[in-house]
A = this chain, B = another copy of it.
Amino acid sequence: MSDVYAARRGTLRDRCAAAGNAAALITRPANVRYLSGASPLGAVLLVGPTEDVMFCVNAPTGEVDEGRLDEHLKVSLLTSTGGDPAVAAGDLAAAVRADSLAVEEHHLTVARHRALRSVAPKLRLSDLGNAVEQQRLVKDEEEIACLRIAAEIADQALGELLESILVGRTERHLALELERRLVDHGADGPAFPTSVGTGPHSGRARHRPSDRRVEEGDFLTVCLGAGYRGYRCEIGRTFVIGTTPADWQIQLYDLVFAAQRAGRQALVPGAAYRDVDRAARSILDSAGHGEALAPWTGHGVGLEIDEDPQLAPTAMGKLDACVPVTVEPGVHLPGRGGVRIDDTLVVRPEADGGPELLTITTKELLAL
């Protein structure tokens, strides 16, 4: 795996050199991990003209959550306790050995930027922008394998929950139980805070679980994800509690299902992000739900649960093969509840069978 990280840093080095920068300072944790295998708390990565150095507050321990560091990478322990940006900046500036340094302006704080400028006034600082994020967009098969395992774990946790009694239990308890099951099945941890919404809370995006209990006749929306070796997937399903769904529930479910299917089918290499969004959105829009929709119907996943691309009406760009994304339209009717259906898929050419569905739990409307 070390070769992978060295190769990724090599690509970044070439991009920097082409833009006239001899070195780059990577501070965003997911970017640090992508380029080095690990992101210990507070660690930053210097990609230099000849040598790369990770600056750590503590020695990296190689644990699950922070990843396993590329063993060929040089590590430098910061002597400061991390509180004083000027101290760390001094250590960094001494190691740059170049006259120009690109920094992640969308992540670096003004105070740290100022400290760097002050300890190294001759160093020309420029903006690296989203260079590493762009590099992370298309995944290699090893990354996709991690996502596939993460999705399997989430499917298992969800499947087990469905076999248990749900009526009378609170959203918070169901969410905690799901998170315990994720870890039982080998996840690093939840990929994001598990969302469980019942009755009037169902169908809401990123609903924080409350103390409301599951009741007969409720819609129940569950959205969860597992992290596996740093890679994060997402699955969301809506169920109905009790014997028979009401007519409005069946109609709303069928509508969201149709929108989600249209979104999935639009996932082909070369499709514009906004066209994938439109495929799903237009179906909900035509049915009169356009106003209340979330500003996106899907997004990329990887080392972060919400990364590029964004599948949204104003998004610019086109899908490539091997880009994993969610497709997750939903409708929420205030006071009544709603439906969300959310899958993680990998964009694949039609010759390879089209989009690869990672989250395989059924999307039939189950009455539990």
Interface residues of A (CB under 8 A from B): 61, 63-66, 81, 83, 85, 103, 105-111, 113-114, 127, 172-173, 176, 179-180, 183, 208, 210, 295-296, 310, 312
Q: Which residues of B contact A296 (CB under 8 A)?
A: 81
Shortest beta-carbon distance, A30 to chain B, in Å? Answer: 15
Partner of A106, one of B105, B109, B180: B109
Name the distance in Å between A66's Cβ and chain B's nearest Cβ.
8
- What would 16 more interface pairs be, CB under 8 Å, given A105-B114, A110-B127? A63-B208, A64-B210, A65-B208, A81-B312, A83-B310, A103-B110, A105-B110, A106-B110, A106-B111, A108-B109, A108-B110, A109-B110, A110-B113, A172-B183, A173-B183, A176-B179
Q: How many chain copies does the complex carry?
A: 2
Expressed in whole angstroms, the Cα–Cα distance for A208 and B38 within the complex equals: 14
Chain B residues lying within 8 Å of A65, measured Cβ to Cβ, are 208
Report the minimum CB–CB distance from A171 to chain B (whole Å).
11
Report chain B residues within 8 Å CB of A210: 63-64
Report the Cα distance A105→B64, complex, angstroms.
32
Selected contact of A109 from candidates B63, B85, B109, CB within 8 Å: B109
Find chain B residues with CB under 8 A from A64 CB.
208, 210
Closest to A82 in B: B295
Residue with the greatest number of chain B CB neighbours at <10 A, chosen from A106, A110, A114, A210: A110
Minimum-distance CB pairs A-B, first 6:
A105-B110, A106-B111, A105-B111, A81-B295, A63-B208, A110-B113
Q: A109 and B111 in contact (CB under 8 A), knowing A63-B210, A179-B176?
A: no
**Chain B residue contacts of A105, Cβ below 8 A:** 109-111, 114
Which residues from chain B contact A180 at a C-beta distance below 8 Å? 176, 180
* A227 CB, nearest partner CB in chain B, Å: 13
Cβ–Cβ < 8 Å partners of A208 in chain B: 61, 63-66
Least CB distance from A104 to B in Å reads 8
**Chain B residues in 8 Å Cβ range of A108:** 109-110
A227–B45 alpha-carbon span in the complex (Å): 33
Contacts of A173 in B (CB 8 A): 183
In whole Å, how far is A111's beta carbon from the nearest beta carbon of chain B?
4
- Could you say which residues of chain B place their CB within 8 Å of the CB of A111? 105-106, 127
